[in-house]
Amino acid sequence: MGGWRWLTVGCALLLGVAVAPVAKAASKADLERMNNMALLLGRAAGCGLDTDRATRVIGAWFDQTFPPGSIDQKRYLPISVAP
């Protein structure tokens, strides 16, 4: 995946988190962590670094923090995988 695409994904995630209403289950710390991971992942991809492992680790964290089928995952997953 090209660096600009990841940078766009990171920006979309940051914007989405800022605009999306906060669900009851998502803590402010979880949203800040998701925000920071998106920013760092976007920067790494923009610099041409291999982000495969980081993407898997972030995905695992995401599934643990926002369980599949939960309202939070339905809210934040589309934002985090935006093209």
pLDDT of residue 82: 58
26 pLDDT band, cuts 50/70/90, is confident
- What is the reported pTM? 0.62
Answer whether 50's CB lies under 8 Å from 3's CB: no
| Number of separate domains in the chain | 1
Candidates 68, 69, 81, 66; CA nearest to 22 is 66
CB 79 within 8 A of CB 7: no
Residue (of 20, 13, 11) closest to 62 by Cα position: 13
34-83 pLDDT, tens digit each: 889 988 998 999 999 999 999 999 999 999 998 888 998 888 887 776 55
**Per-residue tokens: 52:** 């495969």
Instruction: Quote the domain boundaries for residue 20.
Output: 3-80
Say if residues 1 and 45 touch (Cβ distance below 8 Å): yes
